[in-house]
Amino acid sequence: MTFKICSEDWTSKVKKVSGILTPLLLAVAALSSLTGGAPARRFELLAESPQFWKLLDHHAQLTTVAKGFGFTEGPVWDPSGFLYVSDEEINKIFCVYLADGRKEEVLSLGDPDGNTYDRERHLIDCASVLRAIIQVEPQGHYKILADRYQGKRFNSPNDVIIGPDGAIYFTDPTLDLVKGEKQEIPFQGVYRLEAHGEVRLLTKDLTQPNGLAFSPDGKKFYVDDSQQRNIRVYELMPDATLANGRIFGEEPGGKGDGVPDGIKIDKDGNLYVTGPKGIWVWDEQGHHLGTIAMPEQPANLAWGDADYGTLYITATTSVYRLPTKAHGFVPYLPTSK
């Protein structure tokens, strides 16, 4: 049963009516480039392997769901016909309705970041300014689930997922540590939060851990490092510890191109990782299959629609939709096991 915070059920109204990125928009972007603005970016599907086209159609269209945000993050799709979206600059979490892009404020707080549902469909958020993992509740309230490790405050929790055991897993870099506040934990960790509130450190190997994901079989755990521009993979052991960590892939790029951030996985184990200029697609052996180049730099993404065959992408000031041939693995769904 969905834990519903937004006020309307728009299930019957969900239609793909958002505007397609038109040649006119691309021409405007190109003109901006010629007149001294940033280099023009556009949507493209850039294959590195024929396998890429088994996941995405050659003629797939990117469409705009909503725009006019400060900086979008943490999308979570809800079957009632909306996305939860964090806006790190406006300092709010919104419901964004897919039928018309309408925004409805859910919660106002400093720098909300990654989000997920838990198994009971509570919305879980990384509240960077609070330096906490919170559970979002109705009427604009929240409950702090954890804000310390061994008595010391977290840095700035960034992204969060539900593990195969139902526990909450999250990253804690210093990327959004409030200026002037002290870093109390002398490293940037990856943690597991159990139902009774115990926080367990899984690894402190990464410089700035960010996005994270589990393989569909629950045996592999992926975490990317925004500073090192790489993705690591670990084996998840039966006691929920990590072992045999190694570099899975690297996403090099220039200044301003974007860095590894959000990660999602499809049911066949392929990874979709935001990175320089778009979303990098990897197979489970660590081969870069291709890149979904985006008109704005993406930070995160989520699977949605009835068959989980659509990627919803938070990219700077906008939210986009891209249909895929692949179908998403959604770890908080019992049927995803």
pLDDT digits (tens, 9 = 90+) for 84-143: 999 999 999 999 999 999 999 999 999 999 999 999 999 999 999 999 999 999 888 999
Judge whether residue 337 has pLDDT over 80.
no
Q: Which residues lie below 8 Å from residue 269, measured CB to CB, with a gap of 6+?
A: 215, 216, 217, 283, 284, 329
Per-residue model confidence as pLDDT tens digits over 208-253: 999 999 999 999 999 999 999 999 999 999 999 999 999 999 999 9
CB atoms within 10 A of CB 132: 21
Residues of the chain with pLDDT > 90, as a percent, come to 84
- Whole-number pLDDT of residue 4: 55
How confident is the model over 299-303, as a mean pLDDT?
98
Mean pLDDT of all residues belonging to the chain: 90
- Rounded-to-10 torsion of CA 189, 277, 161, 282: -100
Burial grade of 205 (CB within 10 A; 0-12, 13-18, 19 or more):
middle
Place of tokens 């990317």: 224
